[in-house]
Amino acid sequence: MKPFTFIQAGSTGQAVAEMVGHSMAKFIGGGTNLVDLMREQIEQPEHIIDLTQLPLTQVEEQPDGSISVGALVRNSHLAAHPSIRQRYPVLSQAILNGASAQLRNMATTGGNLLQRTRCYYFYDETARCNKRQPGSGCDAIGGFNRIHAILGTSEACIATHPSDMCVALVALDAKVIVEGKNGQREIAFADFHLLPGETPHIETSLQPDELITTIIIPPLPFAGNSLYRKVRDRASYAFALISVAAAIEVENGLIKNLRIALGGVAHKPWRAYRAEEALAGKEATAQNFIAAAEEELKSAAGFGHNRFKIELAKRTIVSVLQLLAGK
């Protein structure tokens, strides 16, 4: 690991100022991904700004019915919070499906958004990787790509975003509050992560000096009927091949409200807008669920080893919707 300087920030303003003052700086919260990346020399920060003393550790119900989650709330705390379990079970389930208990005890909400892909070639210094070294090529395309993306890919990168929590948050229309040298701003969760395009090394819409301070989960009464299903190679401590986060409200047999998001399929948590649109106001039947899943995966493309994901995604969407609709 390369030597670095270290400072403990006493305020969000100080944390941002430290970032502005150093060109090769990184924030650290739980460190569950950053430290691994530093050990592998994928990340080589010269200055580390520790955030753990900042007052961003609360989960709070707001007067408008939303819930604010501080960026330093540990994953385990958020998953166990009574309001999250009761009002947004999909979020609690998604978090508990991620990593191990030990990692969830360390990992923070803000850090979860910023974790890097688990593409094997990204971690292999001898491989070509446009994300690690822009312009060098992508060894996953034409290589072993069983875990890679099927939607929103580019010729530069077919990596997936590894988070479970973020799949639930994009389904819930969460917002990300960030603070930078020009003050605070709000980013819709669906706009926070980016598709790879020609610049897969740029993964989010965060500016270099910006710090995530809070996640806002808006009120969504029908999210009480929600579910997260993760399909993976082993029962725990594995990343999603496919995951589905969904919430549904059915009235008189018709779909009144619906949210669907997919994990393990794209460079970002994938909101299934096409499937949602296809099902709006329709009867909650298996036939309609199948048609909607087909619609969502219409533009999907595999790269050899990962072609099975297209059918798997469709089936997982249908089975989750059937369960939630009581079919």
The Cβ of residue 11 has, within 10 Å, a number of other Cβ atoms equal to 11
Judged by beta carbon, residue 93 or residue 117, the one nearer ligand SF4 is 117
Compare residues 197 and 218 and give the one whose CB is closer to ligand SF4. Answer: 197
289 binds ligand SF4 (CB under 6 A): no
Q: Name which of 193, 4, 166, 174 is nearest 87 in CA terms.
A: 174
Select the residue interacting with ligand SF4 from 49, 56, 119, 244 (CB under 6 A): 119
Residue 70 CB, shortest distance to ligand SF4, in Å, is 30
3-state secondary structure of 80: helix
Nearer to ligand SF4 (CB atom), residue 98 or residue 200: 200
Angle at 88 between CA 87 and CA 89, to 5 degrees: 110
Site for ligand SF4 in 53-72 (CB under 6 A): none
Query: Which residues ranging from 183 to 212 are in contact with ligand SF4 (CB under 6 A)?
Result: 200
Q: 140 vs 275, which CB is nearer to ligand SF4?
A: 140
Choice from 117, 204, 213, 243 touching ligand SF4 (CB under 6 A): 117
Q: How many residues bind ligand SF4 (CB under 6 A)?
A: 14
The C-alpha angle with vertex 156 and arms to 24 and 152, in degrees rounded to 5, equals 105
Residue 121 binds ligand SF4 (CB under 6 A): yes
Between the CA of residue 14 and those of 113, 126, 211, what are the distances in Å? Answer: 22, 38, 11
User: Which string of x and - marks every residue 125-164 that binds ligand SF4 (by CB under 6 A)?
Assistant: ----xxx------xxx----------------xxx-----
Does an H or E element contain 191, and which? helix 189-192
Which of 277, 316, 322, 308 has the alpha carbon at shortest distance from 295? 277
The verdict on 266 binding ligand SF4 (CB under 6 A) reads no
Q: What is the DSSP string of 270-307?
A: EE-HHHHHHHTTSB--HHHHHHHHHHHTTT----STTT
Q: Which amino acid appears at position 6 of this protein?
A: F
Can you give the binding site for ligand SF4, defined by CB under 6 A? 117, 119, 121-122, 129-131, 138-140, 157-159, 200
